[in-house]
Structure 1
Amino acid sequence: MTQPSLYDLDRSDWGEFLSDEPKFRVDQIFNGLYHQGKELDELTSLPQTLRARLKSELPTALQTVTQQVSDNGETTKFLWQLSGGARVETVLMLYPDRATVCISSQAGCAMGCSFCATGQAGFERQLSAGEIIEQVVRARRVAAEQQPPRRVSNIVFMGMGEPMANFDNTWAAVQRIHDDMEIGARHITVSTVGLIPGINRMAAEALPVNLAVSLHAADDELRNELVPINRKYPLQDLMDACANYFAATHRRVSFEWAMIHDVNDRISDAQALAGLAQPLRAHINLIPLNPTPGYAVRGSSRNRVRAFREELERLGINVTVRDTRGTEIDAACGQLRAGHEATPVNRPQRRSPLAE
């Protein structure tokens, strides 16, 4: 059995682990690690012998390989090494009065989305709940060190991996980020390429977090190419699962749409997307495609993105063009690959290159 890491233990586990210590030790540890964001060496309220024991028996999971900062200083990408040698990445995005952390749920990804660097690199292993949580803890420390200090207000499961394919550990992390780190459900977003069993399981949970679906195509033919899991969970079934999630949680679903030149950026694509979004009152996030080494297709032009957005707005759809951050350090959406080589994929051939 793999040795648990410091952040793998929940409050109940800590009670068992410290059964020979006074009961208030658990509160001291939780207050120090999660509320104050301290490292073990800084928990001076604990006896030195206990701190030494914890460091020996419960090591941290993430070893820093690199920490890159974008040119404007607003984006930091962390490359971590895990036990066994797997590597994952985390992205911290700074805003004037807050910060968002984009976290990974797997080392690599088995979903094989053609335009995503993580999918091009393949799957390595699942992350434990502690490995997921520690990403937030470590990024939050860096945010607090900024001038002025930033408070991490939002967590998005949009890093490496498919969260629904690691549901148990993802959901354990969600609950503890909410309970132990006091980040509200409406500030936590779990993204998926469309694993319906995971969406249904999340709909049955008591914590109504935000659901983001990486859609990218509004018909099965194209989506089968871009997002291969669509062959197993086709669009109509996926829309039914999204409707069920909205009904159960009263949380508006968002659709992510990578804007790919001459592939899914025509006016007719916008109209088809609106047809899916309208019944759900879904929000659309348009993401100009970020370059990846294994996908030799460029993102849509600004004019195409603007025309696409305007058509959605004309049809009454709530739409946002996502701010692109950290492309120069490969920290933007779809670029995380933890240094792995990408396997080149063919561009979709179905779309006509003629603009409408």
Structure 2
Amino acid sequence: MIDKTFRPKSTPLNPLEFSATVTNWQRQYGRNDLPWQINITPYRVLVSELMLQQTQVATVIPYFERWLQHFPTIEDLATASEDAVMAQWQGLGYYSRARNLHKAARYVVDEFAGQLPDNVDELREVPGVGPYTAGAISAFAFNKPAAIVDGNVKRLFSRYFGIEGEISSAKTNKTIWSLAEQYTPVTDSRRYAQALLDLGATVCTPRAPSCQECPLQESCNAYATDRVQILPTKKMKSKIPTRSGNFLLDLTSDGVVLVQRSADGIWPRLWCLPETDEPPKNATIHGKFKHVFSHYKLDATVFAQSIPNGATRVHLDEIESYGLPTPIRKYLNTLPT
């Protein structure tokens, strides 16, 4: 254990020393038994990477396992209906990821005969695969060297190299990507990439990082200069606004009326209670619910209101086969069947 008062010089390790240090740490203390690390295939890696975007590992695990039960191969996913895909994704949020994963499967089946390419340039052509995801698939699925930069890596590198500047700015992002490429080893790529993610997720955390357990402590700039709580430079947060929403509930013994939302706006292409801009006149309030999005809070009121004939009516015991937004599903689950 290193004395907490010890402040080493902030000279960073060279790339070979750095990769050796973090990969040795990962062998002993990293995460090595996650579902997508077992029986590794490019398809399993693709699914896990899109699910893990903006979502914690613990949340993803049960979704990943259920997904593979319903769509065990990329061909199964490619031929599935959009409703079937969205039904398995519901609850994970950021639903564009599900549609991108569906498009990616179809693209890979059509363009690459169902085999994901093993190089970053071709992977970038796959729908939903950006710079980080392409690098992650190359490293994790094929064990090929590729730079990866996500939120964990940004935080780790920002502290380790003493990089100032708002973490999401183009300038800071370019600096970190340049370092990531310079420090990516040519061997043991899978373990090195996992080491960076594990260090960021379990040691170099946003709050209360475990510097005493970090294998990079002695050469970390932020630790040496007492700036661990300052770096990375945080963006000023603006107050999240609250918006109202008005939903209609037409429930009979034959089921509840649902509509499929458009491809634009929130909850695109999901099935939902009908929504109106203004509260309906002379309608009875059935209930209320709240939901927090990344950019605003929804304060919703549900009105009991009959819907004209011709609408899609779904029995409550069949709801599970439809892709619904989480707050709508929760609300419907409170209704008697």
Judging by fraction of residues, say which structure has more helix.
2
TM-score, length of structure 2 as denominator length:
0.23
Judging by fraction of residues, say which structure has more strand.
1
TM-score, length of structure 1 as denominator length:
0.22
